[in-house]
């Protein structure tokens, strides 16, 4: 490649300026040109490139090799976590969120009980190592509280809280890794965790983030894209086709909004498929180990529902 040779010189220059220790090696490399040192030089050239990374290149690919409407890989783990009534680990690409649900149970504080329905308590914590720069967030951090409030208000209309008067449902969200789409991962993880706890809900809640790069919409943004592109997160209910949350922290042109919004809602359906398959697979494996001796369940005839 042409530019490869061109940057070799510039990178070597920078290297000598920046790092005195590297200097003898680089000098050596210019003399002998052996392989290990060229690798060193390429490292420099890639950092130079990173400053002007393309969100969407001419071939229609994004920085991580996805197409415009492609979602990241999803992984759902419903295995038991400690004494939680329901728990789930949800992974969107490099974003990973862990949710434990306790309840419905007696409220810890009497003042929090509501006489005709259950109180939902969401606590979010972000691991210090979850993002690129190590940063400890306190419990009272504004950003953390805001995310927790968003999760709470998303699930309040979906959970049938009136069935559990004077109780409390605790949702503990732990962010393990973050690479964009944090809120979407939290909401999706909470949905499956609530289901594994057997808490009655009127529907799934599926969240996806979307953004617009110049005129082309993108789905499921990584952190790199999120920082560069106006974006929004949409949480929708696939059965009723209702939207329980739309949030936007950046400015998005009003003409573009509808397009992204519709696309995100459509992507929600795809996520719903994944979540449903995971829940069914999990239920199936548990029903199987419980065996056929379950009272009542065995004799059900399958006809008559149509």
Partner 1 sequence: MISFASFPSKSHEITYEEARHHPNVKDDLMEFDDYEDFESSGSRLTCPGETLTSSQAYMRGHGTYVDNEEVIASVAGTIERVNKLVTVRAIRSRYNPEVGDLVVGRITEVQPRRWKVDAHSRQDAVLMLSSVNLPGGVQRRKLESDELQMRGFFEEGDLLVAEVQAFFSDGAMSLHTRSLKYGKLRNGQLVVVPPILVRRLKSHFLTLPCGVDLILGLNGYIWVSKHVKENEQEGEEGFDAEAVYSNVNDEIDEATRTAISRVMHIIRMLTSHFIPLTDTLLLEAYEWAIEHETGVRDLLQQDFGDALVASITAGR
Least Å distance between CB 177 and partner 1?
16
* Angle (CA) 281 125 276, round 5°: 15
- Cβ neighbours for 36, distance < 8 A, ≥ 6 positions apart: none
Closest CB to partner 1 among residues 30, 240: 240
Chain positions 212 to 271 lying near partner 1, rule: CB under 8 A, are 219, 237-240, 266-267, 270
Q: Does 296 bind partner 1 (CB under 8 A)?
A: yes
Token pair 């719903």 is found at 272
Least Å distance between CB 91 and partner 1?
9
Q: Does 201 bind partner 1 (CB under 8 A)?
A: yes
Closest CA to 48 of 5, 2, 14, 1: 14
Least Å distance between CB 247 and partner 1?
21
At 177, phi and psi to the nearest 5? -135, 140
Sign of the alpha-carbon torsion through 210, 242, 193, 301 = negative
At 66, phi and psi to the nearest 5? -90, 160
| DSSP category for residue 172 | E
Chain positions 21 to 40 lying near partner 1, rule: CB under 8 A, are none
- Cβ neighbours for 175, distance < 8 A, ≥ 6 positions apart: 96, 97, 98, 124, 125, 126, 127, 130, 182, 185, 186
- Cβ neighbours for 59, distance < 8 A, ≥ 6 positions apart: none
Closest CB to partner 1 among residues 140, 304: 304
Chain positions 272 to 291 lying near partner 1, rule: CB under 8 A, are 273-274, 276-291
Q: Which residue from 78, 150, 173, 186 is in contact with partner 1, where contact means CB under 8 A?
A: 78
Is 25 within 8 Å of 44 (Cβ atoms)?
Answer: no
Q: How many residues bind partner 1 (CB under 8 A)?
A: 77
Chain positions 56 to 75 lying near partner 1, rule: CB under 8 A, are 66-67, 69-75
Chain positions 118 to 147 lying near partner 1, rule: CB under 8 A, are none
CA distance 207 to 135: 26
Token pair 């009497």 is found at 110
Instruction: Collapse the DSSP code of 205 into the 3-class scheme (helix H, G, I; strand E, B; otherwise coil) and give the result.
Output: coil
Site string for partner 1, 170-199 (x = CB under 8 A): -------------------------xxxxx
Closest CB to partner 1 among residues 137, 242: 242
Least Å distance between CB 38 and partner 1?
32
Least Å distance between CB 283 and partner 1?
5
Q: Which residue from 160, 227, 249, 250 is in contact with partner 1, where contact means CB under 8 A?
A: 160
Chain positions 99 to 118 lying near partner 1, rule: CB under 8 A, are 103-106, 115
């Amino acid at each position: 490649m042409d530019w490869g040779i061109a940057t070799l010189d510039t990178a070597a220059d920078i290297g000598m300026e920046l790092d005195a220790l590297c200097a003898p090696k680089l000098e050596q490399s210019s003399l002998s040109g052996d392989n290990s040192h060229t690798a060193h030089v390429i490292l420099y050239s890639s950092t130079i490139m990173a400053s002007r990374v393309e969100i969407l290149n001419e071939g229609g690919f994004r920085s991580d090799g996805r197409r415009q409407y492609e979602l990241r890989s999803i992984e759902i783990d419903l295995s038991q976590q400690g004494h939680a009534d329901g728990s789930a680990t949800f992974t969107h690409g490099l974003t990973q969120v862990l949710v434990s649900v306790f309840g419905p149970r007696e409220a810890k504080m009497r003042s929090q009980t509501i006489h005709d329905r259950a109180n939902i308590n969401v606590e979010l914590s972000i691991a210090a190592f979850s993002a690129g720069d190590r940063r400890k967030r306190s419990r009272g951090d504004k950003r953390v509280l805001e995310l927790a409030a968003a999760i709470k208000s998303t699930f309040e209309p979906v959970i049938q809280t009136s069935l559990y008067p004077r109780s409390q449902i605790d949702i503990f969200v732990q962010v393990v890794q973050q690479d964009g789409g944090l809120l979407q991962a939290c909401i999706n993880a909470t949905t499956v965790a609530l289901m594994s706890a057997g808490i009655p809900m009127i529907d799934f809640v599926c969240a996806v983030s979307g953004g617009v790069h110049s005129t082309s919409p993108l789905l499921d943004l990584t952190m790199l894209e999120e920082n560069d592109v106006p974006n929004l997160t949409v949480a929708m209910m696939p059965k009723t086709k209702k939207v329980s949350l739309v949030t936007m922290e950046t400015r998005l042109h009003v003409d573009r909004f509808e397009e992204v919004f519709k696309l995100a809602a459509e992507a929600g359906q795809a996520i719903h498929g994944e979540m449903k398959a995971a829940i069914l697979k999990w239920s199936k494996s548990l029903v199987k180990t419980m065996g056929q001796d379950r009272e009542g369940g065995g004799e059900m005839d399958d006809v008559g529902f149509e």
